[in-house]
Structure 1
Amino acid sequence: MVPFAGFSMPLSYGDVGAVASHHHVRTSAGLFDVGHMVQSNFRGATATAFLEWLTPSSLSVLAPFSSTLSVLLNERGGIIDDTVITKHADDAFYVVTNAGRRERDLAWFRAKLAEWNASEHAAAGKVALEVLEDWGLLALQGPEAAQYLQNLTTFDLTTLTFGRSAFVPVKGTKLHVARGGYTGEDGFEISIPPAQTEEIAALLSKSPVQLTGLGARDSLRLEAGMCLYGQDLDEDTTPVEAGLTWVIGKDRRETGGFIGAEGVLKHLKDGPPRRRVGMIVEGAPARQGAKIFAPSSSDLVGVVTSGIPSPTLGKNIAMGYVESGWHKKGTEVEVEVRNKLRKAVLTPMPFAPTRYYRG
């Protein structure tokens, strides 16, 4: 167990190492306890407009029971947090945010709700926030996840494609099940009322499913090219720099109207000063904070934000930011690892192929 965001979190379970757990998720199925994350409901007649003010996403055109990755932005266009937003209806949204940003996010939500509900928008209806305290959240991930869950429910999971969610009956309880996850594999994120969390966790963790800790979670998400807030994203980074331009709705790029729009639209128009990239590093794994240099030069062009030896590829992979112009795939750079410059080649992400279920 290790401390994380005020919780004690499992790094690994029993004598199963992180690499073995990683491979098990890629070949079979693993269960992650992610109940530390913050689950919230936003409800009210103007909930869509409110969340479109807080984020650059086009939520008004999102179909009911569809999800999108999004970002909460500060006034400069920097990322307060990354989040998954699920639309249940025009007046009801389910939002999951990061545990490490809990205090910042909830204070931001409450301040902006007070502002919104005191404005002319409230004439069309106020918005309310409900934080789902103590609710469980489990991520069942891997190529055997769907078959395992299907054996526990009468709901036809083949109708639930990537990015869709539904209330699914399991053991007499309707669970909110969203198809997706943080590993690049097919899988589900399952929200569970407090009283049923332990029972459902026990049900979902029988063979072939293995309980999987934070060690494997980090290597799986990095192979999938996914960002970790606080390492790969922060309040001084815009979604354009972070390679998350796709979360900005096409209509929002024209109309703006969201907090931080000025900074984001400027980066869209003029290009960002730096960009998030993936790279394969020779010799030794580059870790967070490793400096990236132009080849055979003392010119600093970037910094590594995450790096590991990839269990799937058998190569050292890393993610980081480089100055614009140095970001094209195939570009060679040098990374300082253990006081030695190592050759690295910029590589498209995800590093490992994703296997989402799209029907």
Structure 2
Amino acid sequence: MSDQNRAWQRPSIYDVAAHAGVSHMTVSRVLNGHPNIRDSTRERVMQAIDEMNYTRSSIARALATRKAMRIGVMVDGPVEYGPNSTLRALERAARDSGYSVSAFSISDDPDLGVDVGVADLMSQGVDALCVIAPRSSSLDTLREQPTRVPVLVVKADPDPEMMTVAVDQRAGAHAAVAHLVDLGHREILHISGPLDWLDARARHTAWEEDLADRGLTIRDALVGDWTSDAGFAIGRDAPAIDDVTAVFASNDQMALGLIHGLTKRGLRVPEDISVVGFDDLPDARHFLPPLTTVRQDFAELGRLGLELLVSRIAGEEPADSAMILPELIVRESTAPPRA
């Protein structure tokens, strides 16, 4: 190979080792923060890295650590905002840590079930598995699968068999209901997501608990499918709307459709009825009216989830569960009920 062609090559871990006068394993230990390295050696290696503009590739790191440097992620409902945002956040956090992500979308199709997803991802030699936005049926199937790697589930309730990380869904629902009660609302309806979804179930349970604790009437929740069409149909046609002054929708998309349907019904938001959503979509502040909602910090969720997985991959014993508090964002879709 000519010197000219060699000049265009990205330097390898072996080139850095030769430049620093150490073995490639020493370079690998420096890159991975190994404690048993002399300061003078560490400085010499870091200087060589800077001088050669070396960027560690996942292949080089995999060879040095005997890890694939790959996280397998299974996603229920990948087109929904919450699961999709969590996946994107995990991918960014993984990339920043030198890992890549292989994703598998779970569905009711037998060819795209959890068992198929586990087999597919394990065949790629992943170092760990993460399951985002699971339904209870998905978790039941997951427990039956031989994984042999660390498993993290993004769900609000701790699990004795796997690590969990989540935004506190109950706390978010409690904040939404408390906001409506503080405004003076006593007749509060809930539009839940599909109750096989663990997040939807947690929000529904918190709504029921809040009303019960305050001695308020608990009406049957109306179950949607996360879509704005479901919210629209409820807002336009559901008889239960006539008996309430406020609605807590389990996601912003259903809240958007709800507001549209209420308008078709001849009701004004918030003058006639208040609406609270959940997620804080990027467009939620541009709804008419701008939507009061519960914000989830997906970036922090991805960072924290990856941190737990990488610690377990390294043989450490991190906490089995971690929870992030959501934030209530008050906008113009809520107001005190009419006197």
TM-score in terms of structure 1 length: 0.24
More strand by share: 1
More helix by share: 2
Higher relative contact order (Cα pairs below 8 Å, separated by 6+ residues):
1
TM-score in terms of structure 2 length: 0.25
